[in-house]
Structure 1
Amino acid sequence: MGIRLDDVNRRIIHALMQDARNTSAPTIAEDVGVSPATIRNRIDQLENAGVIRGYHANVDFEAADEMLTTLYTATAPIEERPRLAQQARTIPGVVNVREFVAGEKNLHVLATGPDVEALNDVARELTKLGLEIDDEKLVRTEQFQAYHAFGPEETHQQFSDYISLAGGNEVVEITVDDDAPIVGKSLERADDEGLLEDDTLVVSIERTDDVLTPTGSTEVRAGDILTVLSRSDFDESALRAFEGVGN
């Protein structure tokens, strides 16, 4: 399942790449100009779509008991490359495997260990898998940087379609969970049953590749992305109609 990367998504990715541990949804929301609920919803979407695959510590192994880190450049048969890459990850000491679209030198394997002998053990295990090691180098340092194109521009404007409006109004995006109470119900029925807050209005529904302008008879489906206008602060209670029982 793909996901569109609009300005909000890009800013979220940039913020998490900079410092995922100390970055909260309210912090990103304040910087971007949307509500924290929108940020949390977008992060869930990015994780479910596999865009954000995880959160990892950036470890300096040299500072950890002066451990050594080596980068192995290896060649795997093209048809075997995905399988061998997965198997290489299971070798004790291997901390990263990267595949390349190339016939030769198409795997980079990063490994760490307390001494040269431990790293030699990694090399032997890689060879046993059927990989041909072309080169190996001791890694001195490794640095990461958030992708600058996803960051804020010097004259950044708040987003017109996901903003906190004057007078306390807010516009929030919500993805409807599979077992949410509102699934299968029209907006009119949901309102009659008290599922929708009195001061909220569903202004659009994104469904697959279509954007719908809803009416009272429009039925809400699982996976719909609703744009909701709230005439007051959008709190967690307003999400209950759209969330599954386990959330």
Structure 2
Amino acid sequence: MPYDYTDHRIDDVDRRILYALMNDARNASASRLAEQTSVSGATIRNRIHKLEDAGIIRGYTAQVDFEVADGHLTNLYLCDVPVTKRQALAHEARAIPGVINVRTLMTGRRNLHVLAVGEDTSDLRRIARRLSDLGIHIEDEDLVEEEVFAPYGPFNPESAGPAAEPNDFISLTGNASVIEVSVEAGAPIAGLTLETAVQERLLDDQTLVIAIERDDRELTPHGDTVVKPDDIVTVLSRAGDDTAALEVFRESAPGASRR
């Protein structure tokens, strides 16, 4: 089915979740993802729900070898259809018994790919006839021998840098920036109210906490709001150099003291 474009902006936590789900959704538990991203399991579950609602995660499917399962054949039909009828014909093709996947391409020839499973070659010919009856021109077809999947590399947490780095970063005019960062357990600010953090000069007038995501809740920060480990904090920094703004959310080095 077609999806509307979304304005949902993914950050590093979202990317790590998506990578883990693409790599092995069955074993990507909320607790395991929480350990990898330095946030709580409830935050992971909330993020997954948001990714689903935004249409970024569109479903979870099993990868089945139909030849091993029941001796069936998998066939790929490379088809050409008028662009104006592409979406409608894709939905009609998907309704044919045996069709398991339909992919539409933006332009050019072979702009409709149909993947189907049949008991034998005669069953695959039946599917081909049904496609032709819909007005879908089959330019080429072939049996699928093997299909290999892999997660999207840039979302790999192993190459995304340490969790202490910003989850997300937006540069604004006038050297200002909006930073999203996860609070580590040993961070100087963890366990303090925002008011106390200001009094202890962990936060200054160039650094403003504008939002806190905790478990499945979005909090509006106030002076008496306590910053907790695993919180995802959005900070407006006007300092130009964001190193100091991030430092208070990182785990302190052994022997380090608060400023």
TM over 0.5: yes
Q: Report the Cα offset of residue 204 of structure 1.
A: 3.2
Is 1:144 aligned with 2:178? no
Match of 1:163 among 183, 186, 198: 183
Counterpart of 2:78 in 1: which secondary structure?
A: strand
Counterpart of 2:157 in 1: which secondary structure?
A: coil
* 8 Å Cα contact 2:184-2:229 kept in structure 1: no
Match of 1:15 among 14, 20, 29: 20
Q: Partners of 2:156 and 2:99 in 1: how far apart? A: 32
- The residue that corresponds to 1:47 in the other structure is 52
**Mapping for residues 64-103 of structure 1, pairs under 5 Å:** 64-103=69-108
Alignment gaps of 5+ in structure 1: 171-202, 207-211, 217-227, 235-247
Q: Residue 11 of structure 1 aligns to which amino acid in structure 2?
A: R
Q: Residue 117 of structure 1 aligns to which amino acid in structure 2?
A: S
* 8 Å Cα contact 2:104-2:113 kept in structure 1: yes
Counterpart of 1:91 in 2: which secondary structure?
A: coil
Q: Residue 149 of structure 2 aligns to which amino acid in structure 1?
A: F
Q: Residue 33 of structure 1 aligns to which amino acid in structure 2?
A: S
For the structure 1 residues 164 and 86, does the alpha-carbon distance in structure 2 shift closer, same or farther, using more than 3 Å as the test?
same
Q: Report the Cα offset of residue 31 of structure 1.
A: 1.2
How does the TM-score come out when normalised to structure 1?
Answer: 0.69
* 8 Å Cα contact 2:39-2:230 kept in structure 1: no
- The residue that corresponds to 1:175 in the other structure is none
Counterpart of 1:105 in 2: which secondary structure?
A: coil
Q: Report the Cα offset of residue 230 of structure 1.
A: 5.2
The percentage of aligned residue pairs carrying the same residue is 49
Is 1:28 aligned with 2:28? no
Counterpart of 1:121 in 2: which secondary structure?
A: helix
- The residue that corresponds to 1:133 in the other structure is 138
Alignment gaps of 5+ in structure 2: 1-5, 167-180, 192-208, 213-218, 232-259
Match of 2:68 among 46, 56, 63: 63
Counterpart of 2:14 in 1: which secondary structure?
A: helix
Q: What is the number of equivalent residue pairs in this alignment?
A: 187
For the structure 1 residues 19 and 232, does the alpha-carbon distance in structure 2 shift closer, same or farther, using more than 3 Å as the test?
closer
After superposition, the CA RMSD in angstroms is 2.7
Q: Deviations over 1:179-207 (max 9, x none)?
A: xxxxxxxxxxxxxxxxxxxxxxxx5349x
**Mapping for residues 222-233 of structure 1, pairs under 5 Å:** 231=228
* 8 Å Cα contact 2:185-2:229 kept in structure 1: no
Counterpart of 1:63 in 2: which secondary structure?
A: helix
- The residue that corresponds to 1:220 in the other structure is none
- The residue that corresponds to 2:122 in the other structure is 117
Q: Partners of 1:126 and 1:78 in 2: how far apart? A: 16
How does the TM-score come out when normalised to structure 2?
Answer: 0.66
Q: Deviations over 1:8-50 (max 9, x none)?
A: 1111000000111111111011012211111111111100000
* 8 Å Cα contact 1:35-1:164 kept in structure 2: no
For the structure 1 residues 154 and 82, does the alpha-carbon distance in structure 2 shift closer, same or farther, using more than 3 Å as the test?
closer
